[in-house]
Chains A and B, each alone.
Chain A
Amino acid sequence: MNTPYAIRVHDLVYQVDGKPILKGVPFHACSGEIVGIMGASGSGKTTLLKCIAGLLRPTSGEIWIEEINIVPLSERAKMPLRLRLGIVFQYAALFDFLTVYENIAFGLERHRKLPRSAIDRVVQERLAWVGLEGTESLYPSQLSGGMRKRVGLARALALDPRMVLFDEPTSGLDPANAYQIDRLIRRLNRELGLTAVVVSHDVNSLFRTTDRIVVLDEGQVVAEGTPEAIRQSDHPKIQAFLRMASAETLDE
């Protein structure tokens, strides 16, 4: 079945210890779209992302990755679906006992029957995409935060996923590095047609990268629209969030 939706989420509830983190969240991302999920810390945005990635099992609701609802699936049944999704973790989550090369080749060696020369070529190509040629033999501990995130992205892209989920791609980065990551997301979307879901509390980053933004607050969607529409929104919580995010000095 050909669906314009890459990801569809219906009425997603996630509870820990009876405490609701997500309270019936709807969400969708069309093929080739960049969707931002904005919200303060604790709003449930990373939980939503991890549910979409199949890393957390929601209490109830549906999550459709293209034509398959992943919620009832077992861990093993979800494995092939994960090849369609790339995930870039907040702190990159690189395997710290492996080199940059081994990190990027990790999925390829296990899921693609490729000769070594072809794996070499893919690793070089992905490193070139993220602007990190020549770092193959370094270990994650020898990289800066921004470089680690870019290696994380290269690793996520190694298996040619159709969609990529970004968890706080710019957090902890200086403005120059953050800008570079944002441009990279945009470029990959334009050139490869990747669907991207970007979870962030970095308002500026979301405004310049995404086609549409979903605002989460206390586990609920409070607004949804283009970056411009969100900027213009008169919802008090969004206004307060934007004001705080753009405040340059503290009002004593």
Chain B
Amino acid sequence: MKNLTYLKFEVLRTLRNRRFLIFALIFPLVLFFAIAGPNKNVIVEGIHFPLYYMTAMASWGAMTAMLSSGARIAAERQIGWTRQMKITPLSTRSYFSAKVLCGYMMAFFTIIALGIAGSILGVHLSALDWLKLVALLVVGLIPFAVIGILLGHLMKVDSLGPALGGVTSLFALLGGSFGPIFQSGFMLKVVQDIPSYWLVKSSQSVLSPSGWPPLQMWIVIAIWTLAMSRLAVRVYRRDSSRVT
């Protein structure tokens, strides 16, 4: 990102949009205190519930934040601002990079806020484990950055709200953000192929004997990123060749 002034104003615009701040930050935070608070000593999937739920809510909020960049892309397409940007020296790559960086910035707010909330409810991790947890969340969010760009080109603004809400909820639900839904069997194998499963699983990965997630996580994230990128490129090209 060569142009810091451009990025600064994109960040400013992101921060001024309060709606996503509410959905990506306040909702997960409130839910975390409401549900993890009374269940401080419960053990879920081998770890303390506050740690599980902190990661789960951070994943949910961070996914919302990443996908919200799609809403901004769709809005700018609709008003014709995207075309106006195409007749400036700003490259397509920089345009999307700024959107993804803003998505990550919002995601960081959510992750940090939930980290603090987790500490308040007694989550205790070493500095290295905190770092590893954040790193795994950052990597796990890559497919969602691409899905945001994809949805931003696929949807019109009026259908985007429900679409983003639906997609985020589905990923959050199947991934286990609201509690693990499949403990074993065929359906567990299915949800393990979804990137949000591994986001929610990040804290267990950090606390596992090896200290790292299994190979499967890296494969799932790589495949989703590649597949979604190919789709996004196709949809972007179709969108750019339109006459209007």
Chain B binds chain A: no
